Amino acid sequence: VTDLITALDTRDIPALRASLAEHSEAELADEMVRLDPVQQALVFRLLTKGHALGVFEKLEPVQQAELLEALRADETARIIEEIDPDDRARLLDEMPAGVATRLLERVSPGERRRTTVLLGYAPESAGRIMTPEYVSVRASTTAGRAIERIRRAGIDAETIYVVYVVDDTRRLVGVVSLKDLVLAEPDTPVAELMATDIVTATTDEDQEDVARRLADNDFLAIPVVDREQRLVGIVTVDDALDILEREDTEDVERIGGAAPLDRPYLAAGVLTVFRARIWWLFVLFVGLLFTSTVLRAFESSLEAVVALTFFIPLLIGTGGNAGSQTATTIIRAMAIGEVRLSDIARVVWKEMRVGLLLGGAMASLGVLLAIPLGRGADLAVVVGLAITSVVMLATFVGSILPLTLKRGGLDPAVVSAPFIATFVDGTGLLLYFTYAHLIMGI
Q: What does the alpha-carbon distance between residue 162 and residue 139 come to, in Å, rounded to a whole number?
A: 14
Q: For the chain, what is the total number of helices (H) and then of strands (E)?
A: 23, 6
Asked if residue 423 binds a second copy (CB under 8 A), the reply is: no
Contacting range for a second copy; rule: CB under 8 A; set: 82-90, 106-114, 165-173, 266-274: 266-274
> Quick check: helix, strand or coil at residue 62?
helix
- Rounded distance between C-alpha atoms, residue 51 and residue 57, angstroms: 10
Q: Is 252 in the site for a second copy (CB under 8 A)?
A: yes
- What is the C-alpha to C-alpha distance for residues 260 and 109, in angstroms, rounded to an integer? 36
Q: Is residue 401 within 8 Å of 327, Cβ to Cβ?
A: yes
Residue from the set 342, 345, 372, 374 that interacts with a second copy by CB under 8 A:
342
DSSP result, 290-348: HHHHHHHHTHHHHHH-THHHHTHHHHHHHHHHHHHHHHHHHHHHHHTTSS-GGGHHHHH
Q: How far is the CB of 393 from a second copy (least distance, A)?
A: 15
CA 28 – CA 355 distance, rounded (Å) = 48
Interaxial angle between packed helices 49-57 and 73-82, expressed in degrees from 0 to 180 and rounded to the nearest 10: 70
Q: Does 18 bind a second copy (CB under 8 A)?
A: no
Note whether 197 binds a second copy by CB under 8 A: yes
Nearest distance from C-beta of residue 97 to a second copy, angstroms: 29
The footprint of a second copy on residues 32-61 (CB under 8 A) is 33-34, 58
# chain residues binding a second copy, by CB under 8 A: 115
DSSP string over 161-226: SEEEEE-TT-BEEEEEEHHHHHHS-TTSBHHHH-B-S---EETTSBHHHHHHHHHHTT-SEEEEE-
- Calculate the CA 268 to chain-centre distance: 17
What binding mask, one character per residue, do residues 75-114 give for a second copy by CB under 8 A, x or -? Answer: ----------------------------------------
Q: Does 151 bind a second copy (CB under 8 A)?
A: yes
Q: Is 196 in the site for a second copy (CB under 8 A)?
A: no
**Please, which residues have CB within 8 angstroms of residue 29's CB and are 6 or more apart in sequence?**
55, 58, 59
Contact 301, 308 (CB under 8 A): yes
In angstroms, what is the minimal distance from the CB of 26 to a second copy? 4
Q: Is 229 left (phi over 0), alpha (psi -120 to 50) or beta?
A: left
DSSP state at residue 232: E
Site for a second copy in 160-189 (CB under 8 A): 160-161, 178-179, 182-183
Contact at 8 Å (CB) between 86 and 131? yes
Counting contacts by CB under 8 A, is residue 291 touching a second copy?
yes
DSSP state of 132: S
> Near a second copy by CB under 8 A, which window of 11-19, 109-117, 221-229, 330-338?
330-338
188 closest CA partner among 148, 142, 147, 145: 142
Exposed, middle or buried by CB within 10 Å (0-12, 13-18, 19+), for 425? buried
Is 406 one of the binding residues for a second copy (CB under 8 A)?
no
**Segment contacting a second copy by CB under 8 A, of 92-100, 123-131, 221-229, 254-262:** 254-262
- Name the segment binding a second copy (CB under 8 A); options: 64-72, 154-162, 401-409, 430-438: 154-162
Considering only residues 210-249, where is the footprint of a second copy by CB under 8 A? 213, 215-218, 220, 237-238, 241, 244-245, 248-249
CB of 107 to a second copy, least distance (A): 23
Q: Which of 331, 386, 392, 436 touches a second copy (CB under 8 A)? A: 331
Instruction: Provide the minimum distance between the beta carbon of 61 and a second copy in the complex, in angstroms, as a whole number.
Output: 15
C-alpha–C-alpha distance, residues 107 and 78, integer Å: 9
Compute the least distance from the CB of residue 110 to a second copy, in Å.
Answer: 22
Among 127, 233, 257, 412, binds a second copy (CB under 8 A): 257
Segment interacting with a second copy (CB under 8 A) among 63-71, 75-83, 90-98, 420-428: 420-428
Closest to a second copy by CB, 127 vs 398, is: 398
Which residue lies nearer to a second copy by CB, 203 or 326? 326
* 416 contributes a contact to a second copy by CB under 8 A: yes
* CB neighbourhood size of 442 (10 A): 17
Q: Which of 199, 377, 410, 438 binds a second copy (CB under 8 A)?
A: 199
Give yes or no for residue 371 binding a second copy (CB under 8 A): no
Nearer to a second copy, 13 or 195 (CB): 195
Closest CB 387 distance from a second copy, rounded Å: 10
Instruction: Check residue 150 for interaction with a second copy (CB under 8 A).
Output: yes
Our finding on whether 193 is near a second copy (CB under 8 A) is no
